[in-house]
Structure 1
Amino acid sequence: MEQGHLVMAFEDLVAIKYQLYNSLFLTLPFKNLTDVGVELPLFTELCRSALAQGQNPSQIIAQFFHDIAHCTDFNAQAKILFLMLQFVERQVVLFDALEEAAFAKTNDLSAIGTLTEFLKPLNNESYYQKVYHLLHDYCIRIVLTAHPTQFYPMQVLGIIEDLTHAIQANQLKEIRLLLLQLGKTSFKNPKKPTPFDEANILMHYLEASFYPVIKELQHKLEKTFQSPLPCLVQLGFWSGGDRDGNPNVTAEITIKVAKKLKFSILKRYIREVRALKRRLTFQKMWPTLDLIKNKLLATQIHLRSFSPTQYPPYSCAAEFIADLEDVKNQLIQSQNGLFVEQVESVLCAVRCFGFHFASIDVRQNSRVHTALLQNIMNYHLNLNYSPLTEPEKCHALNTLFKIPALNNASSCWQSDALFDDVIQSLKAMRFIQQENGETAANRYIISNTQSASQILEILILARCAGWEPHAMSIDIVPLFETIPDLENAAKVMEILYRTPLYYAHLQQRGLRQTVMLGFSDGTKDGGYITANWKIFCCKQAIFNLSKKMGIYVYFFDGRGGPPARGGGNTHLFYRAMEGMIEQQQIQLTIQGQTVSSKFGSTVSAKYNIEQLFTSGLLGPVSLTKFPRLTAPQYALLERFSALAYDCYQQLKNHPLFTAYLETITPLNYFGDLNIASRPPRRKSAGPLHFEDLRAIPFVSAWSQIKQNIPGFYGLGSALQTLVAEGEEPALQQLYRDSLFFRTLLENAMQSLLKSNFQLTAYLAHHPIFGDFWHLLQQEAIRSTDLLKKISGQKALLECNPVIRDSIHIREHLVLPLLVIQQHALLQLQILEKKNNKACVEYKTYYNLVLKSLAANINASRNSA
Structure 2
Amino acid sequence: MSLHAPAPSADLSAAADKDQPLREDIRLLGRLLGDTVREQEGGEAFTAVETIRQIAVRFARDQEPAARDELAAILNGLPRDTMLSVVRAFTYFLHFANIAEDQHHIRRRRTHEIAGSEAREGSLAYALERLAEAGVGGEALAEALGHALVSPVLTAHPTEVSRKSILHCQREVARLLDTRDRVAMTPEEAADNDAALRAAVLTLWRTRMLRPNRLAVVDEVKNGISYYDDTFFAELPRLYCQFEDQLKSRFPEQSWDLPNFFRIGSWIGGDRDGNPFVTADILKEALRLQSSAALDFYLDEIHALGADLPLSQMLLPVSAELAALADRSPDRSPHRADEAYRRALTGIYARLAATSESLDRHPPLRHAVAESAPYDSSAALVADLQVLAASLAAHGAGLLARGRLRRLIRAVQVFGFHLAPIDLRQNSDVHERSVAELLALAGRLPSVAAYSALDEAARIALLAEEIASPRPLYSPYLAYSEETAGELAIFFAARELKARYGDAALPNCIISKTDGASDLLEVALLAKEAGLLIPGAQPKLAVNIIPLFETIDDLRRSAPVMASLFALPAYRALVAARGEEQEVMLGYSDSNKDGGFLTSGWELYKAEIDLTRVFAAAGVRLRLFHGRGGSVGRGGGPSYQAILAQPAGAVSGQIRITEQGEVIASKYANPEVGRRNLEILAAATLEATLTDHENRVEPARPYHAVLDRLSQLAFSAYRGLVYETPGFTTYFRESTPVSEIANLNIGSRPASRKKSEAIEDLRAIPWVFSWAQCRLMLPGWYGFGSAVEAWLGEHPEGREAGLATLRKMYRNWPFFRTLLSNMDMVLAKSDIAIASRYAELVTDAELRAAIFGRIKAEWERTRELLLAIEEQAELLADNPLLKRSIRNRFPYMDPLNHLQVELLHRHRAGETDERIRRGIHLTINGVAAGLRNSG
TM-score bracket for this pair, using the shorter chain length? over 0.9
Q: Which residue type is aligned with residue 852 of structure 1? A: T
Instruction: Check if 1:661 corresponds to 2:727.
Output: no
Residue 432 of structure 2 is aligned to residue 375 of structure 1: no
2:156 alignment counterpart: 146
1:771 matched residue in structure 2: 850
**Corresponding residue of 2:551:** 482
Alpha-carbon distance in 2 for matches of 1:257, 1:584:
30
Relative distance call for 1:138 and 1:799 in structure 2 (3 A) is: same
**Residue identity in the other structure for 2:426:** Q
1 CA distance for matches of 2:905 and 2:816? 40
DSSP-derived class of the 2:859 partner: helix
- The match for 2:352 among 282, 296, 321 is 296
Q: What is the CA–CA distance in structure 2 between the aligned matches of 1:388 and 1:824, rounded to whole Å?
A: 53
Please report how far the alpha carbon of residue 851 of structure 1 lies from its aligned counterpart in structure 2 after TM superposition: 2.6
1:481-529 CA distance string (max 9 Å, x none) = 0000000111111111111111111111011100000101111111111
Question: Is the counterpart of residue 165 in structure 1 residue 175 in structure 2?
Answer: yes
CA contact (8 A) 1:445 1:477 kept: yes
Conserved 8 A contact 1:656-1:769: no
Cα distance change on mapping 1:738 and 1:122 into 2, 3 Å? closer
Contact 1:578–1:616 (Cα < 8 Å) also in 2: no
Counterpart among 176, 186, 210 of residue 198 in structure 2 = 176
For 2:136 and 2:851, the matched residues in 1 are separated by 59
Query: TM-score normalised to the size of structure 1?
Result: 0.93
For the 8 Å contact 1:580–1:628, the answer to whether it is kept is no
Are residues 1:737 and 2:822 paired?
A: no
What CA distance in whole angstroms lies between the structure 1 residues aligned with 2:873 and 2:131? 40
What does residue 496 of structure 2 align with? 431
Q: In 2 relative to 1, CA 457–857 (structure 1 residues): closer, same or farther, beyond 3 Å?
A: same
The residue correspondences of 1:252-267 to structure 2 (distance < 5 A) are 252-267=281-296
The DSSP-based 3-state class of the residue aligned with 2:274 is coil
Q: In the aligned structure 2, how far is the partner of 1:513 from the partner of 1:329?
A: 37
Counterpart code for 1:142: P
Q: Secondary structure at the match of 1:187?
A: coil
CA contact (8 A) 1:530 1:642 kept: yes
Provide the C-alpha distance between the structure 2 equivalents of 1:243 and 1:862, rounded to a whole number of angstroms. 24
| Alignment-derived partner of residue 331 in structure 1 | 392
Deviations 1:62-111 (A, max 9, x none): 72279xxxx6xxxx711121111111121122112212221223567741
Q: Which residue of 2 aligns with 1:751?
A: 826
* Per-residue CA distance 1:163-209 (angstroms, 9 max, x = gap): 00111223322211111111111101121111111111111112221
Partner of 2:232, secondary structure, is helix
Tell me which amino acid in the other structure corresponds to 1:201: N
Q: Aligned partners of 1:430 and 1:572: how far apart in 2? A: 39
Q: How far apart, in 1, do the equivalents of 2:744 and 2:777 lie? A: 21
Alignment of 1:280-359 (within 5 A): 280-282=309-311, 283=313, 284-305=340-361, 310-342=371-403, 343-359=405-421
For the residue of structure 1 that corresponds to 2:540, the secondary structure is coil
SS in 1 for 2:453: coil
| Number of the residue aligned with 2:487 | 422
In structure 1, which of residues 210, 213, 219 is the aligned counterpart of residue 232 of structure 2?
A: 210
Greater alpha carbon shift after TM alignment, 702-711 vs 571-580? 571-580
Counterpart secondary structure, 1:586: strand
d(CA) in 2 for partners of 1:798 and 1:172?
Answer: 37
Task: Look up the equivalent residue of 2:433 and give its one-letter code.
Answer: A
RMSD after superposition: 2.6
Assess if the C-alpha contact under 8 Å between 2:608 and 2:647 holds in 1.
no
Alignment size in residue pairs: 842
Aligned equivalents of 2:371, 2:540: Cα separation in 1: 35
- Aligned: 1:27 with 2:35: yes
Deviates more, 1:664-673 or 1:377-386: 377-386
Which of 414, 427, 436 aligns to 1:365? It is 427
Contact 1:443 1:477 in 2 (8 A): yes
Partner secondary structure for residue 541 of structure 2: coil
Deviations 1:798-827 (A, max 9, x none): 111101221232222111110011112223
Once the two structures are TM-superposed, the CA of residue 326 in structure 1 deviates from its matched residue by 1.9
2:222 is the alignment partner of 1:200: yes
- Of 609, 613, 633, the match for 2:703: 633
* 1:823 equivalenced with 2:877 (yes/no): no
User: Is the contact between residue 84 and residue 915 of structure 2 (CA under 8 Å) also seen in structure 1?
Assistant: no
Distance 1:360 1:370, change over 3 A: same
Q: 1:306 to 1:731 in 2, by over 3 A?
A: closer
User: Given the alignment, which residue of 836, 842, 851 partners 1:761?
Assistant: 836
> Paired residue for 1:510, among 551, 566, 579?
579
**SS at structure 2 position matched to 1:25:** helix
Name 1:834's counterpart in structure 2.
Answer: none
Distance, in Å, in 1 between the alignment partners of 2:631 and 2:847 is 30
Query: Is the 1:407–1:466 Cα contact (8 Å) retained in structure 2?
Result: no
Shift of 1:44: 4.5
Higher mean C-alpha displacement, 40-49 vs 393-402: 40-49
Letter in 1 for 2:123: T
- How high is the sequence identity, in percent, across the aligned residues? 27
Kindly indicate whether the alpha-carbon contact (under 8 Å) linking 2:145 and 2:653 is maintained by their aligned counterparts in 1.
Answer: no
Structure 1 distance, partners of 2:781, 2:42, is 40
1:700-719 superposed matches below 5 A: 700-719=769-788
Decide whether aligned partners of structure 1 residues 411 and 769 sit closer, same or farther in structure 2, where only a CA change above 3 A counts: farther
| Paired residues of 1:102 and 1:168 also in contact (CA < 8 A) | no
| Post-superposition offset of 1:42 | 2.6
Shift of 1:61: 7.0
Q: How does 1:530-549 map to 2 (within 5 A)?
A: 530-549=599-618
Q: Which residue of 1 aligns with 2:80?
A: 78
Residue of structure 2 aligned with 1:553, choices 587, 609, 622 = 622
Contact kept? 2:867, 2:874, Cα under 8 Å: yes
Query: Gaps (5+ residues) in structure 2?
Result: 1-10, 114-118, 181-192, 249-254, 314-339
**Counterparts in 2 of 1:63 and 1:112: CA distance versus 1, 3 Å:** closer
Cα distance in 2, alignment partners of residues 846 and 56 from structure 1: 27
Counterpart of 1:288, as a letter, is A
CA contact (8 A) 2:56 2:892 kept: no
Work out the CA distance in 2 between the residues paired with 1:182 and 1:372.
Answer: 48
The residue type equivalent to 2:824 in the other structure is M
Residue 704 of structure 1 deviates from its aligned partner by 1.0
- Distance in 1, matches of 2:154 and 2:623, equals 18
1:243 matched to 2:272? The reply is yes
Amino acid at match of 1:445: I
Alpha-carbon spacing, 1:126–1:587, altered in 2? closer, same or farther (3 Å)? closer
User: 1 CA distance for matches of 2:289 and 2:728?
Assistant: 44
- 1:432: Cα distance to partner? 1.7
Q: Which of 692, 714, 721 is the matching residue for 1:651?
A: 721
- In terms of mean alpha carbon deviation, does 19-28 or 81-90 score higher? 19-28
Cα 1:195–1:614 shift into 2, 3 Å:
same
Instruction: Determine helix, strand or coil for the equivalent of 1:355.
Output: coil
Letter in 1 for 2:148: Y
Per-residue CA deviations over 1:281-302 (Å, capped at 9, x if unaligned) read 2332221111111111111111
Distance of 1:611 and 1:337 partners within structure 2: 30
- Note if contact 1:451-1:492 (Cα within 8 Å) is conserved in structure 2: yes
Does structure 1 retain, via aligned residues, the 8 Å contact 2:292–2:362? no
Match of 1:118 in 2: 127
